[in-house]
Structure 1
Amino acid sequence: MTATPTQPYTPFVPCAQQTSRPRAGSRPAGARRAARDLLALVLLPLPLLALTLPAAFAGGGTRRWFGGRSESVRAEAQAAKDEAAAAFYELDTAQRDLRISIETIRAVDDTPAARRAVSDFEDLGRRIDEASHTYITAVDAHDLDRDDLEASVAAQARTELTRAKGDLDRVRQELDRFERGLGPLLDKAETRLARLAPAVERARQSLLAASNALDAVRGTRLRADDLAARLAALAPELTMLNQGAGQHGVAETLERADRVARDAEAVRVEAERLPERAAEIDHRLVSLRTRAQALTTRSEQVDPVLSELRRRFTAACWQDLQHVPDQAAETVRQAEAKLAEARTARDAQRWADALSLLTTVRALLNTTDEAVSAAGDRLRQLNAVSKDPQQEIERTRFAIRDAQRLAMAGRNTPDPRHARPLDDSVARLDRAIGTLEGRHPDYWHFLTELEAVRGTVARVVSQIRDDRGGAA
């Protein structure tokens, strides 16, 4: 838009719309004529000056004043010009203010809605330029300060200026409606802008805290090379943060600031925990070595247990345990080798490698512990059932009867889905009891069968409860 010649404010006008008109801030035509008259009077000879001064001061120059209808039309035209100028200035101010909002949205938001708002503003700007051009043309076409201004020309000027004001008012209304529709987008953009500076500052502070924590750790003779490398990798990110959102965009800068703050915070936490982590690794090294030595001693006791199992029970009761001594010895050897590797990794301050190796050692020792314990547990279970198998039988029968009562609760006949597996469990129990007859019963088969029966009964009970819970 272009300012009216009567206003000192001169807004921007596209080159295509600039017309020949007085520059903003220049003197009106009447003022320029008065200045020229005064200059001429100063330069005139004294007699002529004396003759001219009374007429200049008495009449205000050579301007002729019209009375009646002509002067009334001139005044109406001037009023129309002033009103159009005010409308033009208000529209220009509103457009400039709204452009700031649009640039804010453009910088922050790249959603389809935001791009559509920017495009709509550009279309609206073209309509504003057209209305402004009409106004400027009307202003430049008529000099209302002319002494010989005719009434018909003043009336035409008034008509054109009134029409120009109407165009300016209509496009101003469009601008106001457009501005009201920008509310949600502008609120979102301003919220993100409000987050920008705190987010960048938070990222910087996180980097500083991580650097300080790393320096403190190094003061305890812990190198923390991996943490130092991770922190160094954030240096380019900090450079881009310092370059600002103007170069990289608000959305990208916010995302980068959040990522830098998160990564730097992780480095800080790990750095502060590193002394504790080193002490924990040292403790686990000692603990696992002690456990490996204890398992070595326990594995040596498996052979006497197997010897007793062979002597007192059938082969089916112990043949799956024959590999335990050799397997335990081999597993302990593997665990000790991994412990040595973990110690080397810890001395080199390769903390992740040390922890991984210690996890492997723990798994190996757990496996060995279970195998060694299995032999002793087997002997105790077989001793117990060989002396009194009735205890296991009663335990299993109680589980079956309890499930049968639950299946019949609130029913005249049980659901076949529940009754059939329970009936099969009764038959299976009876067959297992039958295996105890004879000179050398297979007690281990007896125990495993009864355990399987109890497992089947437990599943039926769970199914009954689930069905009734769903029905409820």
Structure 2
Amino acid sequence: MTATPAQPYSPSLPRAHRPRRRLPRTPGPLGDALTLMALPLLAALALPAAFAGGGTRRWFGGRAESQRAEAQAAKDAAAAAFYELDTAQRDLRISIETITAVDASSAARRAVADFDALGRRIDEASHQYISAVDAHDLDRDDLEASAAARARTELTAAKEELDRVKQELDRFTDGLGPLLGKAETQLARLAPAVERARQALLAASNALDSVRTTGLKADDLAARLAALSPELTKLNQGAGQHGVPQTLERAERVTREAEAVRVEAERLPERAAEIDHRLVSLRTRAQALTTRSEQVDPILSELRRRFTVACWQDLQRVPDIAAENVRQAETKLAEAHTARAEQRWADATALLSTVRALLNTTDEAVSAAGDRLHRLNAVQKDPQQEIDRTRFAIRDAQRLAMAGRNTPDPRHARPLDDAVSRLERAVATLDGRHPDYWHFLTETEAVRRAVSRVVSLIRDERGAAGH
């Protein structure tokens, strides 16, 4: 037996287990004749023993034969214990090798050290057994009872020691359960993981080939797939060279990246069509915004003619900003078209996103001018509607603040009182010859926002108290 899993121990068989040598047989007719001549002689020699009632061992008495039988039984029991321990150690060595192939943790290293120590105990017990077997030839015809008794004692002691070591080995094996389970789980995952990686790479390659038949190059995807080739080589070299955890991690990464390449390759025709659609759509939108931006100047003229400077001053640069944004958008659209023609899909997508952002900004600016004129016309015609809307918001918040209370909470009452005062000041600004309607609108909006914050605060506090 052995103390380390790397070098299996193969002890020489004890004397009792060694094959007996046979006398050579003389070949040919001469040998057959000699055999026939010897038969009567052997029969004559055997007759006295036969008449004595058995073999020659009977001459030494029953006690010696009884001791020999007991010694032989002890020898057989020790041999069985030796075989059982040897088998258990071999099985345990496989478990240790499984753990060390997967696990490099301190617990795994400690298990290997404990196995080495246990191996030395097994070697000692095995040596005791082999020595006991070699020291006594139980097949001797002149075996004395005392010698047979000594043999039985030594062989019984050897068996008991083998049994004790086997018990230690069994306890050690039971303690390896968690480590071995983890290792076996990882090993069970290894082959399927590597196979999934290979299949993912094959699927990605097939998807690229299919896309290329439609006239799409997909050079960037091909480069990404080629970068995985060294990883496939390492997977093929196996976990024995690169380690089980590392191979598992590599297989999962290759699977993930190859799958991403496959998905993008399969989606590439759809992506190309989407880019073509966006090119047309954004070009149409840019043309429409060009037309709309031309209407901003008449709107500004009306704002200047009918309202104070504060009502339109921040809109002065809208026509220039709109024209510049549309010009930039058209330039980026041309660049995106070129990128699409060269199948630089990422560049085309990024450029189209820039175009969209420019057009959104332009749309908001152009819309702001028309919305400003519309709102100023409405408040100039009937400011009471805006006043009533704001007062209703304040009164609703005041009722909420007083619900279930005799006096309002100062944290709620103070901002609501401020809102009332602020609304009154905003209404007072309408009494002048040239009212600043835009200031009035922005003030009423600010008052409603402040009131909304108080309402949210009250509801949050009451919700928390209810819980």
Q: Same fold (TM over 0.5)?
A: yes
- Per-residue deviation at 1:159? 1.3
The aligned amino acid for 2:147 is V
Q: Provide the residue aligned with 1:465 in structure 2.
A: 459
What pairs up with 1:39-54 in 2 under 5 angstroms?
Answer: 53-54=42-43
Distance 1:162 1:219, change over 3 A: same
Could you say what secondary structure the match of 1:392 adopts?
A: helix
What pairs up with 1:253-264 in 2 under 5 angstroms?
Answer: 253-264=247-258
Q: Provide the residue aligned with 2:385 in structure 1.
A: 391
Q: Distance in 2 between matches of 1:334 and 1:434?
A: 45
Q: Deviations over 1:197-243 (max 9, x none)?
A: 22222222111111111111000100000111111111112222222
Could you say what secondary structure the match of 2:435 adopts?
A: coil
Residue 447 of structure 2 is aligned to residue 453 of structure 1 = yes
Q: Distance in 2 between matches of 1:400 and 1:382?
A: 23
State the number of aligned residues. 454
Q: Deviations over 1:357-396 (max 9, x none)?
A: 1001100111111111111111111111111110000000
Q: Provide the residue aligned with 1:303 in structure 2.
A: 297
- Per-residue deviation at 1:194? 2.3
Residue 2 of structure 2 is aligned to residue 13 of structure 1 = no
Gaps of 5+ in 2: none
- Per-residue deviation at 1:47? 12
Q: 1:272 aligns with which of 262, 266, 273?
A: 266
| Higher alpha-carbon deviation: 256-265 or 393-402 | 256-265
The answer (yes or no) to whether the contact 2:16–2:134 under 8 Å persists in 1 is: no
- Per-residue deviation at 1:265? 1.1
The answer (yes or no) to whether the contact 1:206–1:261 under 8 Å persists in 2 is: yes
Residue 239 of structure 2 is aligned to residue 250 of structure 1 = no
Could you say what secondary structure the match of 2:216 adopts?
A: coil
Q: Distance in 2 between matches of 1:223 and 1:111?
A: 47
| Higher alpha-carbon deviation: 446-455 or 336-345 | 336-345
Q: Distance in 2 between matches of 1:46 and 1:464?
A: 122
Could you say what secondary structure the match of 2:191 adopts?
A: helix
Q: Provide the residue aligned with 1:436 in structure 2.
A: 430
Could you say what secondary structure the match of 2:407 adopts?
A: coil
Q: Deviations over 1:413-447 (max 9, x none)?
A: 11111111000000000000111111011111100
Q: Provide the residue aligned with 1:354 in structure 2.
A: 348
Q: Distance in 1 between matches of 2:173 and 2:276?
A: 67
Q: Distance in 2 between matches of 1:45 and 1:421?
A: 134
Q: Distance in 2 between matches of 1:12 and 1:258?
A: 35
The answer (yes or no) to whether the contact 1:418–1:464 under 8 Å persists in 2 is: yes
Q: 2:281 aligns with which of 260, 284, 287?
A: 287
- Per-residue deviation at 1:48? 10
Q: Provide the residue aligned with 1:5 in structure 2.
A: none
Q: Provide the residue aligned with 2:418 in structure 1.
A: 424
| Higher alpha-carbon deviation: 249-258 or 263-272 | 249-258
Distance 1:192 1:55, change over 3 A: farther
Residue 406 of structure 2 is aligned to residue 412 of structure 1 = yes
Q: Distance in 2 between matches of 1:433 and 1:398?
A: 15
Q: Provide the residue aligned with 2:153 in structure 1.
A: 159
Q: Distance in 2 between matches of 1:222 and 1:352?
A: 14
Q: 2:179 aligns with which of 185, 188, 195?
A: 185
The aligned amino acid for 1:27 is P
Q: Provide the residue aligned with 1:367 in structure 2.
A: 361
Q: Provide the residue aligned with 1:321 in structure 2.
A: 315
Gaps of 5+ in 1: 3-10
Identity of aligned residues (%): 78
Q: 1:27 aligns with which of 19, 22, 45?
A: 19
Q: Deviations over 1:163-206 (max 9, x none)?
A: 11000001111222222233333333323222222222222211
Q: Distance in 2 between matches of 1:20 and 1:96?
A: 17
Residue 336 of structure 2 is aligned to residue 342 of structure 1 = yes
The aligned amino acid for 2:393 is A
The answer (yes or no) to whether the contact 2:225–2:261 under 8 Å persists in 1 is: yes
Distance 1:336 1:410, change over 3 A: same
Aligned-residue CA RMSD in angstroms?
2.7
